[in-house]
Structure 1
Amino acid sequence: MVRIYTLGPARSCHHHATLKYLEFQGIEARDIILVDDLVTAAGEAADRGDSYVLQCSAHLNVHLVTEKFRDRLQVVDTFILPTQSIAIVKRKGVKEPRTLGLPEPTVGYIDTKAWKKLNFETTKPVVEKKLLEGVYDAGVAYSRSALEHPDKLEIVQEIGKVVTSWLLYGPRPRYSGTIIASPYPELHHGLP
C-alpha cells in the first residue's frame, strides 16, 4: 500500500491532484493522509522512510520540504495538472466586500490594494468554511463554493483553472546523474 501525505482537507487541490496522480499511476491500494502542514508531514514521512509527499510547486514551503529533508526525502516525480476552478467569492448581502480570506499562495491572483484586510488560511476549503461562517466578506475559493451554496455565496471574479506543476517526494532517490524529463517536441519548432 502506498502512503502519501498531502495538504487537506478533502476536496482541496492537493487532494484532487493526489487522486489524479495515483489514478494515472494505476495505484488503488493507498493511504492518503490529509494534513494542514506539509513541512511537518514531510518530517513524518522522512522519519517513517516508507512514505511520499505530494506538493504543488506554487506552495509557500516548497523550499523547506526540498531543503530540510534532502537526505531522506527527495523529489522523485513531477507532473502538470491544473488546479480546480478558482474564483473570488463573496457572501451574498455584502455590498462592498473589504475583508478577504485566501491561501497565501493565491495572492498573485488578486489586487491586494483593493482589500482592507487580508486573512491568510491554509487552503481554499478553509476559506469556504469561514466565508459560510461569516468570518470575512469574500475569499479566494473554489468556483464550486458559490455553486454549492447559491443562497449564501456568489462569484465576484472567475479566475478559473490554473495549470501548475506538482512535486512528489519519496524515500528513495530517483535521480542518478542524468536528467529526468519528458520530451517536449514543440520546443524544437519555436513559436509561430
Structure 2
Amino acid sequence: MLIFSTLGHEGSNHHFVLQQYLAAHGIAQASRVVLFGDFHSGARALIAGEADYLLQCAVHPTAAEITGTYRSAMVVVDAFISPSQPMALVQSTASGDGAGKVGVQPATQSYADLSAWPIIVHEPTVLAVQEGLVQGRYSAGIVFSSFAMAHPGRFEVIEPIGTVCDAWIVYGRQAVDQGAAVVWKDSPLARQFHARIERCLAPGGS
C-alpha cells in the first residue's frame, strides 16, 4: 500500500486535494493518507521511509523552505493543478473580544478585501481560522464555505470566494527528472498550444 502524507486534520484543503489526486490516479483504494501538523514533520517522515510521498500546495508559505531544506534527501516528483474547496469571507453575527480582527491563512489573504478589519491574524491552516472564529478570537475570517453552512445564524457570508485553482507539489525520495524537464505533452494546455500554432500556420492565420 502506498502512503501519502500532507498537512492536516481531516477536512483540511490539503487533505481534500490529496483525495482528489489519488482518485484521479485511480489509487485511492490502494493508498493510505497520513496527516501532519506541519510540513517539517511530514518531510522528516518521508525521508525516514514512514511515508512514500508528501503533498504540499505550491503557494503555502513554507514551500520554498521545505524544498530547500530537504533538497538532498527528498525531491519534487510531480506537480499538478487542482481547485480548492469553496471558500468565503465570513463574519460573526455576535460582538465580542475579537471585534476588529480577521483571521486568515496567509496564502488566502488576498482572496478578499480585508480593509474593514484593522488587525489581521495569521493562522497556519484554514481549519485553524475556523477554530479561531468559533472561539471568538476574531470576528471574521476566510474559511471554507461549508463552515458558515454548518453554523447557521452564528456566522454570515460577507463575500463568496468560491474555489481557487492552485499548483500542488508532490515530493518523493527518488528523482524522476533525469536532468530534463518532465512535461505532460498531451495536457489540456499542450493541446491549446498546438491548436494556437495550427491557427497561426493556417492561411490568413494570426
User: Under a length normalisation based on structure 2, what TM-score does the superposition of the two structures give?
Assistant: 0.85
- The match for 2:87 is 86
Counterpart of 2:182 (choices 156, 175, 180) is 180
Verify: 1:74 aligned to 2:75, yes or no.
yes
- Superposition deviation, residue 44 in structure 1: 2.3
- Superposition deviation, residue 114 in structure 1: 3.0
Name the SS for the 1:155 alignment partner: strand
Aligned identity (percent) is 30
Aligned-residue CA RMSD (Å): 2.3
Q: Deviations over 1:39-58 (max 9, x none)?
A: 23112211227521100111
TM superposition outliers: structure 1 runs of 4+ over 2 Å? 47-51, 93-97, 110-114
Once the two structures are overlaid, the 10-residue window that deviates more, 54-63 or 40-49, is: 40-49
The separation in 1 between residues aligned to 2:103 and 2:173, in whole angstroms, is 35
The separation in 1 between residues aligned to 2:157 and 2:147, in whole angstroms, is 9
- The match for 1:147 is 149
AA of the residue aligned to 2:193: L
The separation in 2 between residues aligned to 1:19 and 1:46, in whole angstroms, is 22
Name the SS for the 1:67 alignment partner: helix
Q: How does 1:1-192 map to 2 (within 5 A)?
A: 1-27=1-27, 28-48=29-49, 51-94=52-95, 98-183=100-185, 184-188=190-194, 189=196
Structure 2: gaps (5+ residues):
200-205
Q: Deviations over 1:120-142 (max 9, x none)?
A: 11111121122122121001101
Aligned residues: 192
Structure 1: gaps (5+ residues):
none
